Structure 1
């Protein structure tokens, strides 16, 4: 798939590191849409279809979070340095560097939604709207849901996953193949996967530092530093109008998403019936319609 060329791209200084960004469209009289990709430790590539939301007066901003993609890589960094606060500081640097901190909308997908929610509970004055796509409100809820979804996998797939997790050999091809069975049910149900998704997954494989440190070896085996993360009790602090998105076959099951809809006062929850974790790829036409309606309704 060919998407619009960026109208601007470059780097934002974040302390001694640099974050790469691209802007599609022109920043005008409508709040730009800033996209936060998943992972942690993924790249912007699989969210490139969101460039189609750029239009008169509205730009779309993508960036690679620190640790992967075109941004600074730190494979030798202390594991304890990869914190939620580090990525919040990076987001602040991006908003300030692009001079949009007084007027913007956040779109966060998966981990990006967790990060966007962490940003939103601080009630930043310039946040006009929030889109939380396929994100859990708690990693305990996420892990409980993953256990239920794993239990529905073929017995031989379950056995392979358990065997390698117990042995610490999750880098073996058998584990990767078993993992992909889960992913094709609950991450992206398209066959084949689009090039932009394959590009993001290849980037994680090439440098899994952040993903393995904060998440773990797989979406459903969370043993990293985020394993006890939760924002459930802080959600009532979010004041921005919020669109919550999930897929019917999503690894972010209704139980993991529901706290957003229940605890954010001004929120709307839309479920995409033919999607798993990536409605922007799996149901692009409906996804664009739903998101554009939300963006057009912001004041």
Structure 2
């Protein structure tokens, strides 16, 4: 398996297409979580057929990268994953010419990276990402309250009892996920693969996020990139779904504060429009990439 060294650890990556000096910039895909894997974003590799190489990677602690289940929660920081991204770009020789596509947490990470104005960044895609976790939590409470009668109360009972690791909590949680995370039934194989990878080793997810998408009690609970957004100086495509857990209120700061941003909402999608409306998503993405030149 191809990996690059990241200090004492290894970051797994996959390149679809050819990385060539002077060619079109590769699209570097940052997965969500934190604590997920690249699998659910693999269909983006089709961009290579249109001339843009695609780089997928698994962030440290997940997938085929080094797992560190015994690390304490304080090890897992935003700066760690920013450094890992910088290292990957340098090791692959892509740091001088690349596009970032970040999904969910990966979109926030990409925004923080872009705000530093790295000279090789040509464009940014922020997909289904909140601009802050306080906004995310406020909107999650609203979405939970609108679930079928009794669901939110059952979720709260488990959260207060500390039984969020049980099958019962997972079963109730699905009402939220099926409405606001992935509306395809059954879940697509690639989405399920990432979900199960995170379930099998939830070290990073539990430390930084918490036991579920809507019960964020980890280190990211107060994190925001709102203050970074005016510093982003590359063309930026913002994408979200009409039924997304990353609601319009959580996404709007990107449109309002990034100087060169435009926002597209996919009407039949929730949190994974690249799977729920793949043709529309990929068309928007290809048009954006062509505009970059």
TM-score tier by shorter-chain length is: over 0.9
Task: Tell me the CA shift for residue 17 of structure 1.
Answer: 0.5
Residue by residue over 1:149-186, the C-alpha shift from the partner in whole angstroms, topping out at 9 and shown as x without a partner, is 00011222112101000011101111101111100000
Q: What residue in structure 1 maps to residue 150 of structure 2?
A: 156
Q: Distance in 1 between matches of 2:292 and 2:135?
A: 30
Q: How does 1:13-162 map to 2 (within 5 A)?
A: 13-28=5-20, 29-55=23-49, 57-162=51-156
Of 283, 290, 296, which residue of structure 1 is paired with 2:284?
290
Task: Kindly indicate whether the alpha-carbon contact (under 8 Å) linking 1:130 and 1:243 is maintained by their aligned counterparts in 2.
Answer: yes
SS in 2 for 1:19: strand
Q: How does 1:188-203 map to 2 (within 5 A)?
A: 188-203=182-197
Task: Kindly indicate whether the alpha-carbon contact (under 8 Å) linking 1:121 and 1:235 is maintained by their aligned counterparts in 2.
Answer: yes
Of 3, 6, 18, which residue of structure 2 is paired with 1:11?
3
User: RMSD of the TM alignment (CA)?
Assistant: 0.8
TM-score using structure 2 length: 0.98
Structure 1, unpaired ranges of 5+:
1-8
Counterpart check, 1:216 vs 2:195: no
Of 251, 257, 274, which residue of structure 1 is paired with 2:251?
257
Structure 2, unpaired ranges of 5+:
none
SS in 2 for 1:155: coil
Task: Kindly indicate whether the alpha-carbon contact (under 8 Å) linking 2:98 and 2:123 is maintained by their aligned counterparts in 1.
Answer: yes
Task: Kindly indicate whether the alpha-carbon contact (under 8 Å) linking 1:26 and 1:57 is maintained by their aligned counterparts in 2.
Answer: no
Task: Tell me the CA shift for residue 199 of structure 1.
Answer: 0.4
The alignment of Structure 1 onto Structure 2 pairs a total of residues equal to 291
Q: Distance in 2 between matches of 1:111 and 1:239?
A: 20
Q: Distance in 2 between matches of 1:155 and 1:225?
A: 31
Q: Distance in 1 between matches of 2:251 and 2:48?
A: 27
Task: Kindly indicate whether the alpha-carbon contact (under 8 Å) linking 2:111 and 2:228 is maintained by their aligned counterparts in 1.
Answer: no
Task: Tell me the CA shift for residue 57 of structure 1.
Answer: 4.1
Counterpart check, 1:236 vs 2:209: no
